[in-house]
Structure 1
Amino acid sequence: MQFGIFTVGDVTPDPATGRAPTEHERIRSMVTLALKAEEVGLDVFATGEHHNPPFVPSSPTTLLGYVAARTRRLVLSTSTTLITTNDPVKIAEDYSMLQHLADGRVDLMLGRGNTPPVYPWFGQDISQGIPLTVENYGLLHKLWRDEAVDWKGHFRTPLEGFTATPRPLDGVPPFVWHGSIRSPEIAEQAAYYGDGFFHNNIFWPPEHTRRMVARYRERYAHYGHGAPEQAIVGLGGQVFMRRRSQDAVREFRPYFDNAPVYGHGPSLEEYTAQTPLTVGSPQQVVERTLGFREVAGDYQRQLFLMDHAGLPLKTVLEQLDMLGEEVVPVLRAEFAALRPAGVPETAPPHPATLRPGPGPGPGPDAG
């Protein structure tokens, strides 16, 4: 099973000081977190894609390309690549290029995003979100597999004999996760292609997650890709830890209350009771995360949001130390012991990552 972190790249004032980081500071902190993730033994670093304040990660492949040059084994991913407002041709070329630079350590999560104004900014209509997703991914899937593409759709100009360059590394496209919180159509799309389904269950109660994942598994089997339990599932969530749970709650409360994603709504206690948000000791995080198996079955990837809501970089780095030293080793062992034979441990790795050799090394200023 893979464990990692994802960032939404929000620029949020620290409620303890009132100061917000500059955009430069926030971008550099995301790089620091990626390097720390590899240092503490995590498997994946993923970044979101946003084109509006208070978020900064508008160019995921630029960030991930820089991180690729400074890491050796970390899988580089996205926690949303906007399939609705990005041109599929550009996605195909950008992520193939990143794949080559990272020697195959690349996959991506496609999604529609959660910012309605982004559609007209990029010349699209939000009411066409699902049809855009279906058509654009159909083209992207084809661009990565066919040398010369003849194609005609509703939302972009036709293609005649078009070849996306560079071609995917060794002819193997990046693995794709289809990310969704609430749309069964996206679970259906993931199942149709035999791709992964990532349910970012950070906002939703367990029963909703159970229904979405069960639908994906059922349809994955329907399309002949394997048994339902062989479908590739990922989950997201947020944790905040201190040695004593009461200290974690006390320290995290002002950050939760002012968070741009879920602040100013239900209380911290209500939210932790109804969603996967876990605020407490490392042992509580272990127990809560192991409980996700009862909801989603045996799954392949768990990503944690660690740096949201204005938390200071020093605090987030402390969180990653606890995650890497006290939480993930236990989760690896427990999930492995529970996983039945024949159920994939991870999403399919790119063949290039299985070759012997040191791979790309960190740059001269890494440390």
Structure 2
Amino acid sequence: MQFGIFSVGDVTTDPTTGRTPTEHERIKAMVAIALKAEEVGLDVFATGEHHNPPFVPSSPTTMLGYIAARTERLILSTSTTLITTNDPVKIAEDFAMLQHLAEGRVDVMMGRGNTGPVYPWFGQDIRQGIPLAIENYALLHQLWREENVDWQGRFRTPLQSFTSTPRPLDDTPPFVWHGSIRSPEIAEQAAYYGDGFFANNIFWPKEHFQKLINLYRERYAHYGHGTPEQAMVGLGGQVFMRKNSQDAVREFRPYFDNAPVYGHGPSLEEFTEQTPLTVGSPQEVVEKTLAFRESFGDYQRQLFLMDHAGLPLKTVLEQLDLLGEEVVPVLRKEFAKGRPAEVPDGPTHAARVAARTESLEEAK
């Protein structure tokens, strides 16, 4: 079981001070948060991709490459790579290069994003979002596995005897997660390729994501990749902690009430009751996170959103200390209890290279 954090990279005014960080401060803060994640023993840092204010991570591989040079263990991932508006050739090249620089500590999460105007900015039509996601990923999948690619589709110019460079490290492409908030087509896509499926699991009740994950598991087995229980599932989550729950609620309330994504809507109490958001003590975070297994089965990766809504860097780093010291060690122990032997661990480059080598040996 892998634990980590994911960031959307928003630049939001702190409602308690009225101060808005600069883009430079926010970018440097994201780096500091990633370094802290490794320091406290987390497994993964993931960044989103956005091309509009108030977000800063428009070039995830640049940021992750910088973080790779300053870390040793951390798996570096995106929490969205826009498969609809990025050229699959450039994705193939950028992430293979990052793989080499990071010694394989690289994942990628495909998504369509939630900003409609991004499509025309990059010459695409939002009405073709699902077809773009399907076609572009089919090409990316091929580019990483074949050295000479002949290809023709609807949405980009054809390729003739094209070789993407550099080739994936150890002939093993980055592990791919397909992220979704609402689209069963994306769950189907993940299942078809035997890739991972990441359910955002933030703003909606668990029943919404149960349907998507169950569909993915069923179709994963249908396509012959293993049993439903062997499918690779990742989940998001949101937490804010203090030593006691009263302090956590009191401190987080102004951030919640004014956050661009959910402020001025349901109350904090209503939102925590109806969604995975946990505001309370470390023990409350442990209990709510452990309950995810009851809803979704054993899974491989849990990422938490912690640096949003204008929270200052100092507060986020304090949150990571609590996560690393009091939450994740307990979660690792409890999630390991009763975990069936056939349920796979979270993906790593080394394990995937070993599996590939074993498969080639068996084929001889």
TM over 0.5: yes
In structure 2, the residue corresponding to 1:49 is in which secondary structure? coil
Partner of 1:315: 315
C-alpha separation between the residues in 2 aligned to 1:139 and 1:183? Answer: 20
Offset at residue 350 of structure 1 (A): 3.8
C-alpha separation between the residues in 2 aligned to 1:351 and 1:6? Answer: 23
Letter of the 1:22 partner, please give it: T
Asked whether 1:11 is paired with 2:11, we answer yes
Within a 5 Å distance, the mapping from 1:349-364 to structure 2 comes to 349-350=349-350
Partner of 1:363: none
Within a 5 Å distance, the mapping from 1:320-331 to structure 2 comes to 320-331=320-331
Over 3 Å counting, the alpha-carbon distance change for 1:352 and 1:190 in structure 2 is closer
C-alpha separation between the residues in 2 aligned to 1:170 and 1:242? Answer: 44
Asked whether 1:304 is paired with 2:304, we answer yes
Partner of 2:294: 294
Offset at residue 262 of structure 1 (A): 1.9
Partner of 2:87: 87
Q: Gaps (5+ residues) in structure 2?
A: 355-364
Partner of 2:244: 244
Offset at residue 285 of structure 1 (A): 0.1
Q: Which range moved further: 245-254 or 36-45? A: 245-254
Partner of 1:175: 175
Offset at residue 352 of structure 1 (A): 8.7
> Once the two structures are superposed, what CA deviation does each residue of 1:85-107 show, in whole Å capped at 9, x if it has no partner?
00000000000000000000000
Q: Gaps (5+ residues) in structure 1?
A: 355-367
Q: Which range moved further: 87-96 or 206-215? A: 206-215
C-alpha separation between the residues in 1 aligned to 2:101 and 2:352? Answer: 12
In structure 2, the residue corresponding to 1:108 is in which secondary structure? strand
Asked whether 1:228 is paired with 2:228, we answer yes
C-alpha separation between the residues in 1 aligned to 2:353 and 2:78? Answer: 18
Within a 5 Å distance, the mapping from 1:1-367 to structure 2 comes to 1-350=1-350
C-alpha separation between the residues in 2 aligned to 1:353 and 1:103? Answer: 12
- TM-score w.r.t. length of structure 2: 0.96
Offset at residue 154 of structure 1 (A): 0.2
C-alpha separation between the residues in 1 aligned to 2:187 and 2:350? Answer: 23
Offset at residue 315 of structure 1 (A): 0.4
> Once the two structures are superposed, what CA deviation does each residue of 1:3-62 show, in whole Å capped at 9, x if it has no partner?
000000000000011011000000000000000000000000000000000000000000
Count of matched residue pairs: 354
In structure 1, the residue corresponding to 2:294 is in which secondary structure? helix
> Once the two structures are superposed, what CA deviation does each residue of 1:282-301 show, in whole Å capped at 9, x if it has no partner?
00000000000011100000
Over 3 Å counting, the alpha-carbon distance change for 1:152 and 1:350 in structure 2 is farther
C-alpha contact (below 8 Å) 2:172/2:353 kept by paired residues: no
Over 3 Å counting, the alpha-carbon distance change for 1:77 and 1:263 in structure 2 is same
C-alpha separation between the residues in 1 aligned to 2:120 and 2:2? Answer: 36
C-alpha separation between the residues in 2 aligned to 1:97 and 1:149? Answer: 19
C-alpha contact (below 8 Å) 1:104/1:352 kept by paired residues: no
Offset at residue 162 of structure 1 (A): 0.4
TM-align CA RMSD: 1.1
In structure 2, the residue corresponding to 1:6 is in which secondary structure? strand
The share of aligned pairs that are identical, in percent, is 81
C-alpha separation between the residues in 2 aligned to 1:75 and 1:14? Answer: 30
C-alpha separation between the residues in 1 aligned to 2:330 and 2:352? Answer: 29
C-alpha separation between the residues in 2 aligned to 1:269 and 1:299? Answer: 27
C-alpha separation between the residues in 2 aligned to 1:352 and 1:167? Answer: 16
Task: Could you list the structure 1 runs, at least 4 aligned residues long, displaced by more than 2 angstroms after superposition.
Answer: 347-354
C-alpha separation between the residues in 2 aligned to 1:268 and 1:103? Answer: 42
C-alpha separation between the residues in 2 aligned to 1:27 and 1:350? Answer: 30
C-alpha separation between the residues in 1 aligned to 2:349 and 2:287? Answer: 28
Letter of the 2:106 partner, please give it: V
C-alpha separation between the residues in 2 aligned to 1:138 and 1:345? Answer: 26
C-alpha separation between the residues in 2 aligned to 1:347 and 1:295? Answer: 22
